[in-house]
Amino acid sequence: MSYIHQSIDYLKQTSPCQSEFYQAVEEVLESLTPVLDSNDRYQKQAIIQRMIEPERQIIFRVPWVDDKGDIQVNKGYRIEFNSALGPYKGGLRFHPSVNASIIKFLGFEQIFKNALTGLPIGGGKGGANFDPKGRSDGEIMRFCQSFMTELYRHIGPTTDVPAGDIGVGAREIGYMFGQYKRLTGRYEGVLTGKSLLWGGSLARKEATGYGAVYFAQYILEDRNDTLKGKSCLVSGAGNVAIYAIEKLYQLGAVPVSCSDSRGTIFHETGIDLKLLKDLKEVCRTSLENYINTHPSAQYIPVSDYPKDGHAVWRFKANAAFPCATQNELTEKDAQALISNGCMLVCEGANMPSTQAAVDAFIAANIAFGPGKAANAGGVATSQLEMAQNASMQNWTFKKVDEKLKVIMKNIFDAANDTAKEYGQSGNLVVGANIAGFKRVAEAMIEQGIV
């Protein structure tokens, strides 16, 4: 049995029932075969065994009182996965589906993503199985305060710096920061994605979506093409999807869809971005309401989705940007996109395509930007927020956006050049995994057996 398969077997025995985590690990390890075969230092140093085991896993009770006076209890997580390159860095997800498998897959992806940015940040992730939907502002605040009442002792501006993810935006970061400050008496850059009024960075809110579209632009540039005039399917209707749509418009593309957990909107003439922001950022309501303003758009409720996939990917378009959640794009969806002439898929979300879908894209020579490279603009800009906090500066939007573009170009070049170096030209999955891995592995070797 190969070294890689032994490692995966070991993982399955020691961390049972964590399918998303195995999926993320298998995808990375399979790409590393040529590196491991050509360099036995990594095997001698047990780099893979060390990399797939988090440095620290913190799991805690989050008790809080709802508006009816009833006591609720949730499960909180912070997985401090790898600090070879810097303080643990990665978001917090509040969603009822959160469990150890999901947080570990996200934390594992974060190690390589953060390495690709070239910035001094290690990988971590956290969250809770808390469902913010339908909760009042007071309930959200009490939950966030209770969550931070345990988390605060594990984090710090030079040790572990959480941020947002699904279900965690500026409001939740605000409540958590307030509680951290109250508990520690310190006003410091311990969280990113903060409000612009008190320590946030301009362009952080936009960075993941914008970054994914810049990444798509660099892929196309390399193929002597552009986004101009291209129809684009986008899934999701949250932070990443909204700002991907905004940047697509700015670059002359036509985003024609968005989706939330209840349904999909397809609007052939282009998504009404102002309305989308109003529905999701201001009213926090369902996309169903979109068709009240645009009766010519189509709304497909989840109950009408194909059994083996997501309605959004069954429409015809030139490009696709999955920006909602993991495994939202199946093999059948990939086949539908390919047969409808889609030529680019760029992942704004973390691991949105199943492994079979990724294999189908690579086999069909579709330009494919994997999430850990394409959506790294968010965490990279979080590091720019940390740099501004540490130096007590506020940079302009233009300055941050310019840095973001350069970082995304560097990530594209690193993944593209590494793919070529290992004889897999154009395969950015292999290129990103190897480039990220080597940076972390070399740092781990230099730091000894820890």
Ligand X SMILES: NC(=O)C1=CN([C@@H]2O[C@H](COP(=O)(O)OP(=O)(O)OC[C@H]3O[C@@H](n4cnc5c(N)ncnc54)[C@H](OP(=O)(O)O)[C@@H]3O)[C@@H](O)[C@H]2O)C=CC1
> What residues make contact with ligand X under the rule CB under 6 A?
164-167, 208, 236-241, 260-262, 323-325, 348-350, 375, 378
Residue ranges in 189-218 that form contacts with ligand AKG under rule CB under 6 A: 192
167 binds, among ligand X, ligand AKG, none (CB under 5 to 8 A by kind): ligand X
Query: Quick one: CA dihedral 259, 252, 430, 238, positive or negative?
Result: negative
Tokens of 93: 């997800």
Report the amino acid identity of residue 388. Q
Nearer to ligand X, 76 or 348 (CB): 348
Measured in degrees and rounded to the nearest 5, phi and psi for residue 95 equal -160, 145
With CA atoms as reference, report the closest residue to 60 among 19, 16, 92.
Answer: 92
Stretch that binds ligand AKG, among 85-93, 213-221, 322-330, 361-369 (CB under 6 A): 85-93
122: tokens are 């290690």
Answer with the entry of ligand X, ligand AKG, none that 89 interacts with (C-beta below 5 to 8 A by kind).
ligand AKG
82 binds ligand AKG (CB under 6 A): no
Provide the minimum distance between the beta carbon of 44 and ligand X in the complex, in angstroms, as a whole number: 34
Quote the distance between the C-alpha of residue 234 and its chain's center: 15
126 binds ligand AKG (CB under 6 A): no
90 binds, among ligand AKG, ligand X, none (CB under 5 to 8 A by kind): ligand AKG
Q: How far is the CB of 76 from ligand X (least distance, A)?
A: 17
Q: Are 328 and 301 in contact (CB under 8 A)?
A: no
Residues 6+ apart with CB under 8 A from 446: none
Determine the Cα–Cα distance for residues 16 and 42; give it in Å rounded to an integer: 25
Encoded one letter per residue, x for contact with ligand AKG by CB under 6 A and - for no contact, window 38-77 reads ----------------------------------------
* 67: three-class secondary structure by DSSP: coil
Q: Tell me how far the alpha carbon of residue 256 is from its chain's centroid.
A: 22
Site for ligand AKG contains 95 (CB under 6 A): no
Q: Which element (helix H / strand E) includes 410?
A: helix 397-421
Q: Kindly tell me which residue out of 149, 350, 388, 427 binds ligand AKG, with binding defined by CB under 6 A.
A: 350
Query: Which one is catalytic: 104, 125, 332, 403?
Result: 125
Q: Which residue is nearest to ligand AKG (CB)?
A: 91
Q: Which is nearer to ligand X, 169 or 431 (CB)?
A: 169
Active site residue 125: yes
Tell me how far, at minimum, the Cβ of 124 lies from ligand X, in Å: 13
List beta partners, residue 61: 75
Q: Which is nearer to ligand X, 149 or 259 (CB)?
A: 259
DSSP state of 322: -
Beta bridge partners of 124: 80
DSSP SS3 for 387: helix
Residues that bind ligand AKG (CB under 6 A): 89-91, 110, 113, 163, 165, 192, 350, 378-379, 382
Would you please indicate which residues are annotated as catalytic (active-site) residues?
Answer: 125
